[in-house]
């Protein structure tokens, strides 16, 4: 039996989470280094998956299949296509930066009983009953494990289990390790964190329960949870879903994925969750966890329910357009830096969903690239914003001004992250957004025209944010603000390099995902529209 590489890629961070959580409370620094080393080892395995994957080979590669719950036909089936490989690589890449960026986010506060009377961390006094630092990094690794196996699962029930299970560590990360720059009393901050965590959990649980009903319905109709078995049955004619049945099952799956994505009007949990979380956890939410929703639209909605996907496309395109415009407009009016980035992400997810349901190869390739590039650009912008907020102790835009004069490197990296968010040509998100719009124009010209309004609004909220925080007179409160430190530069510099590298030369990524997109297009039996060109006389 060959080495189970996909299993190892998901199991390693899971085991690392358990070991990190078990580190003695007095050894907080050891727990941090352990979590970082585990995340780097996971990245090495993800790179191995990337190297071993052949884009021109079989649709699902590095497959594993074992009986799991035989009585219900549930199997432990894993396999990756080009889209899954790209998102696994994104996840494994971002987690080490998230850990480094949050290096001190879970340290006991000065008022905590875990601090010594001199103000420093008392690591000699033991035993401690509470391990906040160990818990914080263990939860991050647990989320990584569940997200990776979600990208690998080709059994619908197996996917559902981890799609739901990742809500538990995310709930504790949002509610238990909130932003310390909250305006107001500690009691008010705690209440806001609890509200955001509960709202996140309830929204996603409702979506998950509806999906569970659809998963059971799929098994009743198809007699299998395996994507490959269902595809084979459909191809040989032994599976023919009734039209109404397929549409109801599609809606059950799509609702859950639209909540996770998040798509308007199911988006309202995201600004609360990102605003009340630490910056690294906010990146984990929008750059990693939310990608499971859009990925699942491609793999499960289009793969399992092609007719229903086409039937629902007009409504979904309208929802995507509303997300694009609505998210961007609310971002323009925000006074809170982190909530601005959250609403910008809602707008960007609208572009991703638009690309998926444009039903063109350009649109779906652009949507997949958008998932990757949005993850990198949002991570860069949010993490720099987190470094900025930690220095000033405020999330309000009005509390800043003239930062570029006292911290030019911080301001410069903030600008690059912002320009990537507005999809400036030469930076990675531009390629993604261009392909999505080309794909939309090819089949739905009016939709493409309306979507371009989001580009204008993105330029507005990004440049206004930079102008109000970084330019102008230096406010007294930021006059002594330090520039980025070495650890922070180690976090940001590789992300900026990737934004530039993939913006100038995206071919390795497009070569990876295009064959998988062709398979998805064949699932829905769609071909790209032919250009209407006047014949030469």
Tokens of 306: 């092609």
Confidence of residue 98 (pLDDT cuts 50, 70, 90): very high
Instruction: For the chain, give the number of residues.
Output: 537
Helical H segments across 105-185, by residue range: 132-152, 156-165, 167-176
Task: Give 445's DSSP letter.
Answer: H
Rounded percentage of the chain residues whose pLDDT exceeds 90: 52
Q: CA 460, CA 465: separation in Å to the nearest integer?
A: 8
Tokens of 440: 């939309």
Output the pLDDT for position 537: 53
Helices 306-332 and 337-357: crossing angle in degrees, nearest 10, is 150
> How large is the average pLDDT for residues 241-254?
90
In this predicted structure, what is the pLDDT of residue 56? 86
- Torsion angle of the four alpha carbons 526, 528, 533, 537, in this order, in degrees rounded to the nearest 10: -70
Q: Is the pLDDT of residue 34 over 90?
A: yes
Average pLDDT over residues 518-524: 82
Statement: residue 128 has pLDDT above 60 = no
Most confident among 103-112, 178-187, 272-281, 526-535 (mean pLDDT): 272-281
Cβ neighbourhood burial of 19 (10 Å; 0-12, 13-18, 19+): middle
Hunting for tokens 């499971």 — which residue is that? 292
Residues 6+ apart with CB under 8 A from 59: 81, 516, 519
**H or E segment to which residue 63 belongs:** strand 61-69
Per-residue confidence (pLDDT) for residue 119, from 0 to 100:
40
Least confident of 231-235, 336-340, 353-357: 231-235
The CA dihedral of 416, 422, 426, 428, to the nearest 10 degrees, is 90
The CA distance from 279 to 501, in Å, is: 24
Break the chain into its structural domains and give their ranges: 5-109+132-523
pLDDT at residue 1 greater than cutoff 70? no
Distance CA 423, CA 455 (A): 8
Higher pLDDT, 467 or 109: 467
How far CA 43 is from CA of 97, 159, 381, in Å, comes to: 11, 21, 22
Rounded to whole angstroms, the Cα distance separating 154 from 481 reads 50
pLDDT of residue 524: 74
* Nearest Cα residue to 383 out of 430, 334, 337, 425: 337
Q: Are strands 74-80 and 61-69 parallel, antiparallel or unpaired?
A: antiparallel
- pLDDT band with cut points at 50, 70 and 90 for residue 479: confident
What are the residue ranges of helices labelled H in 261-360? 269-276, 279-283, 291-296, 303-304, 306-332, 337-357
Task: Output 285 or 130, whichever has higher pLDDT.
Answer: 285
Reported as a single tens digit per residue, the pLDDT across 300-341 is 999 888 889 889 999 999 999 999 999 999 999 889 899 999
Each residue of 173-189: pLDDT tens digit?
988 887 665 544 456 76
129 pLDDT tier (thresholds 50, 70, 90): very low
Name, in order, each residue with C-beta under 8 angstroms of 458's C-beta and a sequence gap of 6 or more.
Answer: 328, 331, 344, 347, 421, 422, 423
Taking alpha carbons only, the member of 264, 290, 137 closest to residue 204 is 290
Instruction: Evaluate if pTM is beyond 0.85.
Output: yes
pLDDT of residue 145: 95
Of 167, 186, 152, nearest to 45 (Cα)? 152
Q: What is the pLDDT of residue 117?
A: 37
Question: Which residue's entry shows tokens 């989001």?
Answer: 454
pLDDT at 115 > cutoff 50? no
């Amino acid at each position: 039996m060959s080495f189970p590489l996909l299993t190892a890629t998901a199991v390693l961070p899971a085991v690392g989470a358990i070991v990190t959580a078990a580190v003695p409370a007095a050894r907080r620094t050891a727990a941090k280094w352990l979590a970082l080393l585990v995340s780097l080892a996971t990245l090495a395995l993800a790179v191995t998956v990337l190297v071993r994957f052949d884009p021109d080979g079989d649709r699902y590669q590095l497959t594993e299949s074992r009986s799991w719950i035989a009585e219900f036909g549930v199997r432990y089936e894993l396999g990756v296509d080009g889209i899954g490989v790209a998102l696994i690589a994104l996840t494994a890449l971002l987690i080490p930066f998230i850990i480094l960026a949050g290096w001190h986010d879970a340290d006991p506060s000065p008022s905590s009983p875990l601090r010594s009377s001199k103000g420093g961390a008392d690591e000699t006094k033991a035993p401690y009953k509470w391990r906040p630092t160990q818990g914080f990094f263990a939860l991050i690794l647990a989320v990584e494990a569940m997200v990776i196996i979600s990208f690998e699962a080709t059994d619908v029930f197996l996917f559902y289990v981890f799609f739901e299970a990742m809500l538990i560590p995310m709930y504790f990360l949002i509610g238990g390790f909130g932003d310390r720059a909250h305006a107001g009393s500690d009691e008010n901050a705690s209440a806001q964190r609890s509200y955001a965590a509960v709202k996140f959990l309830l929204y996603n649980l409702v979506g998950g329960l509806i999906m569970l009903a659809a998963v059971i319905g799929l098994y009743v109709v198809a007699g299998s949870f395996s994507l490959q078995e269902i595809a084979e049955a459909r191809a040989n004619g032994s599976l023919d879903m009734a039209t109404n049945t397929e549409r109801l099952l599609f809606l059950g799956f799509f609702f859950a994925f639209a909540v996770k994505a998040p798509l308007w009007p199911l988006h309202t949990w995201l600004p609360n969750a990102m605003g009340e979380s630490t910056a690294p956890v906010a990146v984990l939410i929008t750059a990693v966890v939310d990608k499971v929703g859009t990925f699942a639209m491609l793999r499960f909605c289009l793969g399992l329910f092609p007719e229903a996907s086409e039937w629902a496309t007009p409504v979904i395109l309208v929802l995507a357009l509303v997300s694009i415009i609505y998210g961007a407009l609310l971002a323009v009016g925000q006074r809170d830096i982190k909530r601005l980035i959250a609403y910008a992400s809602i707008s960007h997810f609208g572009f991703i969903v638009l690309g998926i349901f444009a039903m063109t190869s350009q649109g779906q390739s652009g949507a997949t690239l958008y998932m990757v590039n949005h993850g990198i650009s949002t991570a860069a912008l949010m993490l720099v914003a987190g470094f900025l907020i930690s220095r000033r102790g405020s999330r309000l835009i009005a509390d800043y001004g003239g930062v570029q004069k006292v911290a030019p490197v911080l301001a410069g990296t903030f600008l690059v992250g912002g320009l990537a968010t507005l999809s400036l040509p030469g930076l990675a998100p531009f390629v993604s957004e261009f392909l999505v719009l080309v794909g939309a124009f090819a089949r739905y010209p009016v939709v493409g025209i309306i979507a371009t309004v989001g580009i204008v609004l993105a330029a507005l909220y990004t440049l206004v944010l930079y102008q109000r925080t970084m330019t102008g007179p230096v406010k007294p409160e930021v006059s002594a603000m330090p520039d980025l430190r070495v650890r922070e530069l180690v976090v940001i510099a590789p992300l900026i390099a990737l934004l530039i590298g993939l913006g100038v030369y995206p071919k390795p990524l497009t070569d990876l995902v295009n064959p998988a997109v062709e398979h998805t297009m064949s699932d829905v039996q769609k071909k790209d529209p032919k250009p209407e060109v006047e014949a030469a006389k």
